[in-house]
Structure 1
């Protein structure tokens, strides 16, 4: 399902729905509307299809992350991990609320066009199941991997929105996402350094 970017019913972020690693490209993904973007969304106020695409993808990715963060208090007693999870949850929940508010203002469909898609940065059902049965160092390792993927990808697509979006409220939110999730990335790396790729 990671190669289904062209089949999404809303606008998509090119490379955001592809199967490659966020590190595969030095450039942030470009943002392009899918052919099936509803005409009423295209003309809704000053929101562009790019803005709608990014808001919908951001909301979908965060929806998948929050259940992971909810597990932390019951899966680890480590105060550093609990603190990081609480910080990530607070800022990204606020971003989710704002994303949904802007989608309503834009007149975008209430349905999630990314339902059922597994993309970089989006935790899958199987991955969530594995986290629910893990504790201690195993839980920390899995959590770190999923958080790192999520934070990396959200910063990457928000950077694309900054460059290609047109609605001031959407691009302002993108700036907020970049700033907060970059900080979370730094804090995560302080807890567990990025693994060195093996050759």
Structure 2
């Protein structure tokens, strides 16, 4: 079995090399979300915190904040990637004598982010008197850095304002890992105004499956099973 798998390696064992991957996750920023939800007026605190925890990103808030990033393990996993005849959005790896798959199914099991038909968001506009208008008045564009500034320092006045801004912050900074200069698309501001619609959106299509830490997490579970 192992001989057949070795013949399918994308990188032959003779060409394996030592390498290093750079850590780019921002899971420590989950503390910013905790702090933001605690800056909600007392009469809304429990309501806002409960709504965030019930959201599509809520369970990430229960994650261990100091995740150890083993770049060497991930590098060695990627060296063991296999050619395969399955769907193009799958990755297969050789672990010992086994072929291990990483696909949309495993991605969903780990992240809870669903796949499906993505709505046409090109015609979305900001909601009148929504969070875009109230927290960034007169701004045609809002950067992720500006979102971060509000999340980390603003006292929120209305129920669910903190929830909505924290969801945008988590999506772009923690899950998508985009640069602080990234301009938040208007459709995100529109979608988050309807929290149920935001939760139902196919975020698995937007968040890259290729996150090395997600792949490594699943593959290590498989290896230890």
Structure-2-length-normalised TM-score: 0.32
Pick the structure with greater CA Rg: 2
Larger helix proportion of the pair = 1
TM-score by length of structure 1 reads 0.36
